[in-house]
Structure 1
Amino acid sequence: MEVNFEGIEVIGFDADDTLWVNETYFRDAEEQFAQLLEKYETKNKIDQELFKAEIRNLDLYGYGIKGFTLSMIECALDLSNNSVSQETLGKILEIGKHMISHPVELLEGVEELLKKLQPKYRLIVLTKGDLLDQERKLERSGLSNYFHHVEVLSDKKEKNYSDLLEHLQINPSKFLMIGNSLKSDVLPLLNIGARAVHVPFHTTWQHEEVTEPVEHKGYLTIKKLGDILHYVN
């Protein structure tokens, strides 16, 4: 099904794994975490239990590195029956701190794309995660000046998007969202009458995967972010 991009006035971008690399660092951290706990369980079991802890804690900590780090600590205590050493706990904290302080790595062609779109469209960032961490990454990215508005959401469900678009006085029919997650960046927007573009990243957090067939066909999938220029510019 061909997607009609006529009438678009505002373009929203997801941040992590759409504008810059993010999930890769979580996979690296999980590898380090499994190595620290290898005397207690197999890597597969450690990965499973860490994911369970993350999902269990989402309502408490939300999304982001800080919640992930606390979940690692909780998982380490559980798997070791509270016998994990202070040294190991310290190393887990260092994993989290290293993730937070990691330089921002822009994805290919991001700034060039924003330069071309900014004169014609109102550009905004709609991301989720820890507010301080996302603000820090945006500042380090050097992209702040391209965006009219930046919003860090607690979640990306239909109501989150509807409430924000209403607050910003944006008609959903004139809004286009671009992101790497079908679950968070595409399907909720289609359900409220907006349009969406899916730009898959090479790795996806398990919680963001869509396992059931997607009924909606009214969205575009592109290989890289810059390809959107063939449709909106």
Structure 2
Amino acid sequence: MNAPIRQTILFDLDDTLIHCNKYFNLVIDQFVDAMRTWFHAYPDMTEAAIRRKQVEIDIAGVQATGFKSDHFPQSFLDTYVDFTRLTGRPEDSNEIDLLWSMGQSVYEQEAEPYPDMEETLLRLKDEGHDLHLYTGGEPEIQRRKVDRLRLDRYFGDKIYIRQHKNIAALEQILAEGHFDRHNTWMIGNSIRTDVVPALTAGIHAIHMEAQTEWEYNNISIEVAPQGAFLQLHHLRDVPDGIQRYILGH
């Protein structure tokens, strides 16, 4: 194959390059177990009911003010309070403290790369592509992940952290950086925050399908691609997917 035309590639971080959902799911499991233990005398307190309420509250917080770390532990507390009011069971300050600590513990996990992360980024860099990292969350937390995995080796200072990761945020990055949209790609697992904003902005998109996805990320795609729209399961398939599209157009 001929060398591919140089592309500008924006990568999402959480659940695209590194694991994230699995840690949240583990902590949610701990939360549900604690709630089922405390509210065992109330038959309406099913696992499904607890999970449904926690997700509802968590997503509402993100929609209101973006990706703030307090949303997740607060969703535990608000779910707990909701069920104490529903059942009449008294609130316990020790239980509240435990739930807050439990929710915060997810941010203390090590940054674990997805399979083939290093090899994929190195290949794309060696092929001459311009790599950028675009992630949602609080700067301190996201920067810690970047530093732990030394991702500046691939992205340098081209790292964008936004509390609100949406169409407006991506448009601002593209406009301020004077990106050539015909040769720019967004790669991420979230249809809501990666794929739809990319397609709306008229750049190429690659959806990295996750094994388990956060409900917030799953929305319908109602915008037609102006360029490429690929759906892949493995990071190692990204370079060839981009190259095939370029050579075919």
TM-score, normalized by the shorter chain, greater than 0.5: yes
Residues 9-28 of structure 1 mapped to structure 2, 5 A cutoff: 9-28=7-26
Structure 2: distance between partners of 1:185 and 1:142: 23
Residues 1:62 and 2:72 aligned together:
no
Deviations 1:15-58, CA, capped at 9 Å, x for gaps: 00001000111111111111111116211111111112112322
Identity across matched positions, percent: 24
CA RMSD after TM alignment: 2.0
Q: What's the secondary structure of 1:80's corresponding residue? A: helix
Distance (whole Å) between structure 1 residues aligned to residue 237 and residue 222 of structure 2: 22
Question: Paired residue for 1:50, among 44, 47, 54?
Answer: 54
Secondary structure at the counterpart of residue 70 of structure 2: helix
Deviation (angstroms), 1:225:
0.7
Post-superposition offset of 1:66: 2.6
- The answer for the alignment partner of 1:170 in structure 2 is 179
Which of 139, 144, 168 matches 2:152?
Answer: 144
Report the 3-state secondary structure (helix = DSSP H, G, I; strand = E; otherwise coil) of the residue aligned with 1:37. Answer: helix
Q: Summarize the Cα distance change of 1:158–1:8 in structure 2 as closer, same or farther, 3 Å threshold.
A: farther
User: For residues 117 and 52 of structure 1, what CA distance do their matches in structure 2 show?
Assistant: 39
1:183 positional shift? 2.2
TM-score (norm: length of structure 1): 0.89
Cα separation, 2, equivalents of 1:152 and 1:68: 19
* 1:158-186 superposed Cα distances (whole Å, 9 cap, x missing partner): 22111111112212222111111222211
Q: Which runs of 5+ in 2 are unaligned?
A: 244-249
Task: State the partner residue of 1:186.
Answer: 195
How big is the shift at 1:59? Answer: 4.8
SS at structure 2 position matched to 1:133: helix
Alignment of 1:115 with 2:125, yes or no, is no
Matches within 5 A, 1:77-156: 77-81=81-85, 83-119=90-126, 120-148=128-156, 149-156=158-165
Per the TM alignment, residue 60 of structure 1 is displaced from its structure 2 partner at its CA by: 5.1
Aligned length: 227
CA distance in 1 between partners of 2:221 and 2:71 (Å): 30
Q: Which letter does structure 1 place at the counterpart of 2:153?
A: N
